[in-house]
Amino acid sequence: MDKWLAMPFNGFSLGLPAVYDLAILLLLVVVGLAIIILLVKMLLFILPAAVIAFVVWLLTGSLFLAGVAFLIVAFISILKR
């Protein structure tokens, strides 16, 4: 067990040269940022429809009408773009 403690930790690597590890890291960062940007755009697209649907649900208590309101507002926002 002591031999495991004495081994130096060189980090997690794929066994590739450092330049390739850095290139893979940068690629993964770019992909992650693209996913985050897409999620934020989708949230901003859905938010107005969700707010209107929530207000309709509070006023009527009907999930059906809230769903219809959500679909109508989402459709209008698609046409607006």
The least confident of 6-15, 16-25, 38-47, 62-71 is: 6-15
Domain boundaries, the chain: 16-80
Token pair for 15: 């066994």
Predicted confidence (pLDDT) per residue in 32-66, tens digit: 999 999 999 999 889 999 999 999 999 999 999 99
CA 60 – CA 17 distance, rounded (Å): 63
Q: What is the DSSP letter of 7?
A: S
Pair 15, 44: CB distance under 8 Å: no
Average pLDDT, the chain: 87
Whether this prediction's pTM lies above 0.85 is answered by no
Which pLDDT does position 3 carry in this prediction?
58
Pair 66, 60: CB distance under 8 Å: yes
